[in-house]
Structures are given as structure tokens and as C-alpha cells.
């Protein structure tokens, strides 16, 4: 929690003003009952109207001043609190942006969202409340006791009995509430997780008729959160009447004992009324502080979760001094690369060595789960290798600035991801300053121009969130166009033809080959037809290279390749 306090630094000036105004407010409020006692004792009891008018209007002024300070104080503390929240959110967001995929896998997307929104809100709420209470309540409590004592020493004994009772009661209730509050964030995480999975997986859920069980799963998480909140609120609700009873009993006893003292002529009426008010102020401030202390653990749990996000040092970061590649373009080399996912028993790929050069097409083929995607994810350094090294343009990817490395690569991921916006915007994502010609050229090669032209507004047609208004093949072609528009030295296409029909697949590859004569093309594919005429085919099996060469060579030497081929092509085609 305290580590988040560094975010207050830009608001130091505002903070000092908050303290000044709240201080002024509490002093004014402490002064009011004394003034009232004067008016009652010296004005009303003696029938001096002039005195009442004079001190009465004085009281009014002090009251107005106190309200003014209270308003300005709240205003300033809101500015500080909201600014604090905004800064923390910014910081968390930019930290998450720098995460590598490993860190995303670790914390989880749903939890990252809760942490950036709800957790920060919790801390922010506490900050806004805390700023007010932390200054105001202690002054009111201590000041109130001192002032009450100055009005009548004997009556102060009542407070000496009531306050400990109150503290014990509140303390024991807080002991029950705090663990419940702490559990709240985790339960909220769960609700978010289920909700997110449901929203993104709605098609699958419908197709498999899992609506009912998914509903049940959500209901359970939701119920869990609700039960917890209800428990907390029940206890909180019981505090209030208990406090009112205690306060009323205190009032009665002050009036009872005060009345006796007045009839013995050792106390004045005005002083008793002032004493009553001081007692109330003291008790209110204690309640305020308790509310704060109940809220602190929840915010504390949130603060820990925020700090967890901020503390993660991305395992993949830029070297202090990036090495230049010295003008070489389009060279990719794997030297005895082995890599395993964190926590996995076996390496996902092992002992991979090969080199790809400009103008060549390297195809990677292999069964699902054989490590094809893993292998090519190592080139843009989405993950770091375990041993061996990956060289791009002659430089180890770990010695290059990530930005520079990724600028060399046109990457088409296995699942095409589009962003909400127009078709043109999505293609321009690959290159900010692409002209309209460049965009339509890229679309042309990616065989996308036909269906784009058929859309209602052409390149200005809107793509909905996640590209749901396009077919799988259309999405694939747009994400290929997005990579093409960059004109990088290295193209990586991860199974990007899987949703295309054979004709489009063939046309696309022919156009691609013409376009990329000076670049290196690395294509992952399932279909033999797609890879057959590549300059180099790498056959992967369980993370290992079991064959490398041209189609003809592999047919003679590689059993796995022959099996893949014979499962897909008929006898005549093979011959």
C-alpha cells in the first residue's frame, strides 16, 4: 500500500491545501459549541438580546466558514484521489504493454482487467475518503475530548466509560469483516473470468448447448460474490443501530448527570449543551476512523494485486545497447535451438538448426502440436530460447532492440486478429504512413481486393470488434495484407492459408512469390500442396526436425513426410 504512495508526488501542493482546509474546518467546528455555550450562558439566561444578536451572528459566520472549508477540502481531495487513480491506471497499463507472452500466461487476462479497473478503484476510494478522515477525525477526536474536559471535568467520566465500550464493539466487528473484505477481490476475479470466457466463447457454448451449464457456472461465481457482500453489509448495517443506541444512551446520561450538576449550581446550562455536542463529535470521529480501518484491508489486498502487476519484470527486455544488423536483410538462422514453455516437462521444440535466405521460401510442415507455431514465435522473440540461438540478419535476437527486430518482420499469426475500425485502418496497422495505393496493392496480392470491393463501402467498410463480420478466410487474407504493406525482409505466415480454398491458396502463393523475391518467406502449412514447391521444407515431429530438403528429396528420405503426403494426395498426384 505504502509503495503506491509514490503516485502522490505530483499532487503534493494540492495535498497540503487539503490539510490546511480540513484543519481550518475542524477548528471551526470545535469552536462552535463553545460559542453556543456563551450565547446560552451570557445571553439567553440573562435575557441580553444584544449579546445574543452579536454572538449569534458570529456563530453563523464561523459555521459558514466551516462549510466553505469543507467544500473546498472535498473538492481538492477528489482531485488528488482521481488523479492518483488515473496515474496508477496509466502506469499499470503501460507496464502490461511491456509484458512478454509468458507474463500474460502467468497472471491471466481476466485478472489483469480486474486489477486495472476495480482494484485501482478500491484504492482510489480509500484515498479520497482517507484524505478527509485522516486529518479531520483525529483533530475532532482529541480536540473534542480536550474541549469537553474544559467544560466539565466530572462529566468527562461518562466518556471514559463509553469510548472503551465503543472501541471494543467496533474492534470485534472489524475482526469479522476484514477477512470477508479481503476475499472480495478474488471472488470478483472469478466472476470476471467466467463472464469473459462466456462472452468470447458464446458461439461454442451455443453450438454445444452448454448454455445451461455455463449459466450455472456464472450463477455460482456470482452467488459466491453476492453472499460475501451480503455478509459484509449485514455486519456493517448492524454497526449503525448499535452506534446510535450507544450515542443516545450517552446523551441521556450526560443530560441526567448534567441536570444534577446544574441544579447543584456547579454547571451552567450552556456548558452542558456544549459538552453534549463535543461528546457527539468525539464519537462520530471514532466511527469515521473505524470505517476507514475496515476499508483499509480491502484496499490493501487491492494494492498488493496492483503492485504484483507493477513488480513483474518482463523476462524479455531490450539489451542496454542494441546491435545493428549492418544492412543485411532477410536472413534467419536457428542454431541448435531448444525451447520449453514455463512449467512444461518436455521441450516444445528441440535441437532446431536451419537457415533461410532472401528470395527463398521455407515451409514448415508437421502434425498439430508438433511445435510449428512455437518455432516461428521464437523469431520475433515472443519467447526466449532455452539454449542455442536465433539469429536475424546475423544478430542474435536477444541482442537487438525488440522494436528494430519486429520492424523487420511481417507476421501473420495463426488466429487472425483484427481490430474494430475500417478495412483500410486494419491494413494500415502494418505501416502507419501507407498510402492508399500501397494499401490496395497489398490487398490485391493478398487476394482480398475482390471481397473488399464487394463490401458496401469498400476500404472504408467497418470491421466489427474481433472481425466477427468477416469469414475466417477473409480475416486471414486481411491479416496477410497487413503484413505485406510493411514490405519487410522476413515474412512469417503461420498456417495462414488454412481457411482458403485451393484456388485462392494457389493464386495467393503465386502473387506472394512474385512480390517477395527479395524477402525471406517462412510458411507454416498443413497442406502438402501449399509447401510442395518451397525451396526448403522442414518436417517437424514432436518438436524435432525429422527431415529437411526439397519435396523430391524428402519423398525419398523422410518417412514422416511421405506419410503426410500419402494421406493427402492420390497415387497419380504423388507420381
Q: What is the closest distance, in whole angstroms, from the C-beta atom of residue 346 to ligand ADP in the complex?
A: 8
Site for Mg ion in 402-441 (CB under 5 A): 414
Q: How far is the CB of 446 from Mg ion (least distance, A)?
A: 20
How many residues form the binding site for ligand ADP (CB under 6 A)?
Answer: 12
Q: Give the one residue of 368, 517, 567, 570 binding ligand ADP; rule: CB under 6 A.
A: 368
Shortest distance in whole angstroms from residue 495 CB to Mg ion: 6
> Minimal CA–CA distance to 14: which of 81, 68, 69?
81
Find the binder of ligand ADP among 25, 66, 77, 370 (CB under 6 A): 370
What is the Cα–Cα distance from 73 to 394, expressed in whole angstroms?
A: 62
By the 8 A CB rule, do 480 and 493 touch? yes
Least separation in angstroms between CB 369 and ligand ADP? 4
DSSP characters over 520-557? EEEEEES-HHHHTT-SEEEEEETTEEEEEE-HHHHHHH
Q: Which is nearer to Mg ion, 109 or 526 (CB)?
A: 526
Identify the residue among 70, 290, 300, 373 touching ligand ADP (CB under 6 A). 373
CB of 378 to ligand ADP, least distance (A): 10
Return the percent helix, strand and coil in the chain, to nearest 5. 65, 10, 25
Q: State the nearest-atom distance from the C-beta of 414 to Mg ion, in Å.
A: 5
Return the range that interacts with ligand ADP (CB under 6 A); candidates 228-236, 319-327, 341-349, 392-400: 341-349
Q: Which of residues 82-111 bind ligand ADP (CB under 6 A)?
A: 105
Q: Show the site string, 441-460: x = touches ligand ADP by CB under 6 A, - = not.
A: --------------------
Burial 269-302 (b: 16+ CB within 10 A, else e): ebbbbbbbbbbbbbbbbbbbbbbbebbbbbbbbb
Partner from ligand ADP, Mg ion, none contacting 341, C-beta within 5 to 8 A by type: ligand ADP
Q: Which one of the spans 56-64, 259-267, 368-376, 421-429 is the region binding ligand ADP (CB under 6 A)?
A: 368-376
- If the CB atoms of residues 373 and 504 are measured against ligand ADP, the closer one turns out to be 373
Give 368 or 567: the residue with its C-beta nearer to ligand ADP: 368
Angle of helix 120-151 versus helix 12-38 axis, rounded to 10: 30
Residue 184 C-beta-side C-alpha neighbours within 13 Å: 23
Given 43, 85, 270, 371, the residue binding ligand ADP (CB under 6 A): 371
By C-beta, is 143 or 366 nearer to ligand ADP?
366
Q: Which long-range contacts (CB under 8 A, 24 or more apart) does 562-566 make?
A: 564/365, 564/367, 564/528, 564/539, 565/528
* Segment interacting with ligand ADP (CB under 6 A) among 111-119, 370-378, 386-394, 425-433: 370-378
- Secondary structure element (H or E) that encloses residue 411, with its range: strand 409-412
Query: Among residues 423 and 540, whose Cβ is nearest to Mg ion?
Result: 540
Q: Residue 373, interface with Mg ion (CB under 5 A)?
A: yes
Residues 180-199 that bind ligand ADP (CB under 6 A): none
Q: Does 122 bind Mg ion (CB under 5 A)?
A: no
Closer to Mg ion by CB, 414 or 469: give it.
414
Residue 192 CA from chain centroid, whole number: 12
Q: What minimum distance in Å lies between the beta carbon of 494 and ligand ADP? A: 7
Residue 534, number of CB atoms within 10 A of its CB: 22
Torsion 199-200-202-208 (CA) sign: negative
Q: Are 518 and 343 in contact (CB under 8 A)?
A: no
**Residue 348: contacted member of Mg ion, ligand ADP, none (CB under 5 to 8 Å, by partner type):** ligand ADP
DSSP state of 397: G
Residue number, 292 or 312, with CB nearest to ligand ADP: 312
Q: How far is the CB of 412 from ligand ADP (least distance, A)?
A: 13
Dmax (CA) for the chain in angstroms is 123
- Would you state the torsion angle of the CA atoms of residues 172, 296, 311, 16, taken in this order, to the nearest 10 degrees? -150
What is the DSSP pairing of strand 536-541 with strand 520-525?
unpaired
Measured CA to CA, the distance from residue 131 to residue 295 in angstroms comes to 13
Q: Quick one: DSSP state of residue 395?
A: E
Q: Is 76 exposed, middle or buried (0-12, 13-18, 19+ CB in 10 A)?
A: buried
Stretch that binds ligand ADP, among 16-24, 58-66, 234-242, 367-375 (CB under 6 A): 367-375
Q: What would the grid cell of residue 523 be?
A: 510458411
Q: Is 270 in the site for ligand ADP (CB under 6 A)?
A: no
DSSP state letter for 353: E
Interface with ligand ADP by CB under 6 A: which range of 144-152, 340-348, 466-474, 504-512? Answer: 340-348
372 in contact with ligand ADP (CB under 6 A): yes
User: Shortest gap between Cβ of 466 and ligand ADP (angstroms)?
Assistant: 20
Helix (H) or strand (E) segment spanning residue 58: helix 49-97
Apex CA 125: angle with CA 119 and CA 130, to 5°?
Answer: 125
Q: Which of 160, 207, 344, 454 is close enough to bind ligand ADP by CB under 6 A?
A: 344
- Chain residues binding Mg ion by CB under 5 A are 373, 414
- Chain residues binding ligand ADP by CB under 6 A are 105, 341, 344, 348, 366, 368-374
Amino acid at each position: 500500500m505504502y509503495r503506491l504512495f509514490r503516485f502522490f508526488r505530483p499532487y503534493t501542493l494540492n495535498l497540503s491545501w487539503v490539510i490546511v482546509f480540513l484543519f481550518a474546518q475542524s477548528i471551526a467546528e470545535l469552536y462552535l459549541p463553545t460559542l453556543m455555550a456563551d450565547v446560552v450562558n451570557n445571553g439567553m439566561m440573562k435575557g441580553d438580546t444584544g449579546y445574543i444578536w452579536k454572538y449569534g451572528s458570529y456563530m453563523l459566520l464561523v459555521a459558514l466558514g466551516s462549510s466553505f472549508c469543507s467544500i473546498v477540502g472535498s473538492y481538492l481531495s477528489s482531485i488528488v484521489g482521481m488523479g492518483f487513480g488515473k496515474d496508477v491506471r496509466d502506469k499499470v497499463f503501460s507496464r502490461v504493454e511491456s509484458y512478454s507472452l509468458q507474463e500474460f500466461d502467468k497472471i491471466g487476462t481476466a485478472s489483469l482487467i480486474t486489477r486495472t479497473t476495480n482494484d485501482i478503484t478500491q484504492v482510489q476510494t480509500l484515498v479520497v475518503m482517507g484524505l478527509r478522515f485522516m486529518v479531520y477525525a483525529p483533530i475532532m477526536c482529541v480536540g473534542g475530548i480536550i474541549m469537553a474536559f474544559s467544560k466539565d471535568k466530572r462529566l468527562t467520566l461518562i466518556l471514559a466509560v463509553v469510548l472503551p465500550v465503543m472501541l471494543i464493539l467496533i474492534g470485534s466487528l472489524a475482526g469479522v469483516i476484514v477477512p470477508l473484505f479481503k476475499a472480495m477481490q478474488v471472488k470478483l476475479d472469478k466472476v470476471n473470468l467466467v463472464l469473459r470466457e462466456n462472452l468470447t466463447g458464446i458461439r461454442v457454448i451455443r453450438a454445444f448447448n452448454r448454455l445451461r451449464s455455463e449459466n450455472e457456472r456464472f450463477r455460482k461465481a456470482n452467488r459466491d460474490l453476492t453472499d460475501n457482500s451480503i455478509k459484509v453489509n449485514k455486519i456493517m448495517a448492524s454497526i449503525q443501530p448499535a452506534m446510535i443506541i450507544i450515542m443516545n444512551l450517552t446523551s441521556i446520561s450526560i443530560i441526567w448527570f448534567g441536570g444534577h450538576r446544574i441544579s447543584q449550581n456547579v454547571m451552567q446550562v450552556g456548558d452542558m449543551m456544549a459538552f453534549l455536542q463535543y461528546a457527539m463529535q468525539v464519537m462520530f470521529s471514532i466511527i469515521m476512523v473505524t470505517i476507514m480501518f475496515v476499508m483499509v484491508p480491502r484496499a490493501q489486498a487491492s494494492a498488493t494485486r496492483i503492485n504484483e502487476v507493477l513488480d513483474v519484470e518482463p523476462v524479455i527486455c531490450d539489451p542496454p545497447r542494441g546491435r545493428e544488423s549492418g544492412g543485411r536483410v532477410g536472413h534467419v538462422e536457428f542454431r541448435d535451438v531448444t525451447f520449453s514453455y514455463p512449467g512444461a516437462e518436455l521441450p516444445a521444440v528441440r535441437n532446431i538448426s536451419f537457415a533461410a535466405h532472401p528470395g527463398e521460401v521455407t515451409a514448415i510442415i508437421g502434425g498439430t502440436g508438433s511445435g510449428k507455431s512455437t518455432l516461428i514465435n521464437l523469431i520475433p522473440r515472443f519467447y526466449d530460447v532455452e539454449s542455442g540461438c536465433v539469429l536475424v540478419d546475423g544478430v542474435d535476437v536477444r541482442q537487438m532492440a525488440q522494436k528494430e527486430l519486429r520492424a523487420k518482420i511481417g507476421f501473420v499469426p495463426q488466429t487472425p486478429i483484427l481490430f474494430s475500425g475500417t478495412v483500410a485502418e486494419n491494413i494500415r496497422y502494418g505501416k502507419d504512413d501507407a498510402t492508399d495505393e500501397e494499401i490496395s496493392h497489398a490487398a490485391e496480392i493478398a487476394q482480398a481486393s475482390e471481397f473488399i470491393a464487394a463490401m458496401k463501402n469498400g476500404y472504408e467498410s467497418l470491421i466489427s470488434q474481433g472481425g466477427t463480420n468477416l469469414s475466417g478466410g477473409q480475416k486471414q487474407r486481411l491479416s496477410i495484407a497487413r503484413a505485406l504493406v510493411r514490405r519487410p525482409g522476413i515474412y512469417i505466415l503461420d498456417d495462414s492459408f488454412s481457411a482458403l480454398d485451393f484456388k485462392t491458396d494457389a493464386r495467393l502463393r503465386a502473387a506472394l512469390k512474385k512480390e517477395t523475391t527479395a524477402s525471406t518467406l517462412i510458411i507454416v502449412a498443413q497442406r502438402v500442396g501449399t509447401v510442395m514447391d518451397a525451396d526448403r521444407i522442414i518436417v517437424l515431429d514432436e518438436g524435432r526436425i525429422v527431415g529437411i530438403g526439397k519435396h523430391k528429396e524428402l519423398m525419398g528420405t523422410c518417412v514422416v513426410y511421405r506419410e503426410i503426403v500419402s494421406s493427402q494426395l492420390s497415387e497419380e498426384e504423388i507420381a
